[in-house]
Structure 1
C-alpha cells in the first residue's frame, strides 16, 4: 500500500483513539450531573438543567465513542456466518458493508449539517424550561459523523490491503 494510505489510516485511528478515550470520561460527567440532580431534589431545590444536560452528555458520549468502537472492532455484529469466513473473504464482505455505512453516514451528516446551520442562523433553543442553545450539541453530532466517516474510510483502506495481501 502507498505511504499516504498508511499515514491516513494511522492518523485517523490515532485521532479517533484519543477522542474515544476522552469520550469515555463523559460517563463520569453524566454520573456527576445525575448525582447533582438527586442532591438538589433531596434538598428540595431541584435544578431544571440536569436532565437535559445529562441527555446532551449522553449523546456526545455515544456518538463520539462510535468511531472508537469501530476502530477497536468491538461494535455489535451479527456474525453467525461472518466469523467462519477466511480473513480475505471477511474483507470482501466488509468492503461491501463499509460502502453502505459510508453512504448512510453521508446522508446523516447532510441532515445534521443542515440542522446545525439552521440552529446557528436562528439561535435555536430547546423548548424546555432551561432553554439551552442547541448548536453546541448539533455541532458535536456533525463532528462525530465526520469522524465516523473518516474511520470507515480507514477501515476500507485496511480491507483493501487485506484483499491485496498487504498489511497496514
Structure 2
C-alpha cells in the first residue's frame, strides 16, 4: 500500500480510538442524569421534564461517537453463518467487497445529516416538548459520529485490501 494510505489509516485509527474512549465515559453522566431524575421524583415528588430527552441525546452521542471505535476493534455485530469458516484472506476479500455497500450507505447518511444539521442551525429548530431544546447540537454530534464512521470504514477498506493482497497494514 502507498505510504499516504498507511498514514491515513494510522491517523483515522488514532482519532477514532480517542473519540471512542471518550464516548465510553459518556455512560457515567447519563447514569448520573437518570439517578438525579429518580431521586427528584421519588424523594421529593418533583418530576424533571428534561431528563428523558437529555439521556436520549447522551445515548445517541454514546453509540454514534463510539461506532467507529467499535468497528476498529471488531466489536460490531456480524452475521457469522459462513464468515467464521473462511480463511483470513478470503474474509479480507469478502470484506473488501461488502464494505463498499457500507461506504455508500454512510455517504448517503452523512449527506442527510449535514442537510438536517444545516436546517436545524438555519431555523433554530427546537424539539416539540415541554423542555424544547434546540436540536442543532445533537444533530451536529450525530453528523460527526457518522463522518467518523465513514472515515473508519474507508480505513477498514484499505486494511482489507492490504490483507487480501497479503501485505497487511500494521
In structure 2, C-alpha distance between the alignment counterparts of 1:124 and 1:89, rounded to whole Å: 48
Structure 2 match to 1:166:
167
Structure 1 match to 2:6:
6
Structure 1 match to 2:33:
33
In structure 2, C-alpha distance between the alignment counterparts of 1:2 and 1:111, rounded to whole Å: 32
**Match runs of 1:48-59 below 5 Å:** 48-59=49-60
In structure 2, C-alpha distance between the alignment counterparts of 1:129 and 1:111, rounded to whole Å: 27
1:3-39 Cα deviation digits (max 9, x unpaired):
1111110110010000000000111111001001001
| Count, aligned residues | 168
In structure 2, C-alpha distance between the alignment counterparts of 1:128 and 1:110, rounded to whole Å: 27
Structure 2 match to 1:87:
88
Please identify runs of 4+ aligned residues in structure 1 that moved more than 4 A: none
Structure 2 match to 1:76:
77
1:87-136 Cα deviation digits (max 9, x unpaired):
11111110111100000011111111111110000000000000100000
* Ranges in structure 2 where 5+ consecutive residues have no aligned partner: none
TM-score for the superposition, normalised by structure 2? 0.96
* Ranges in structure 1 where 5+ consecutive residues have no aligned partner: none
Q: Partner of 2:39: helix, strand, or coil? A: helix
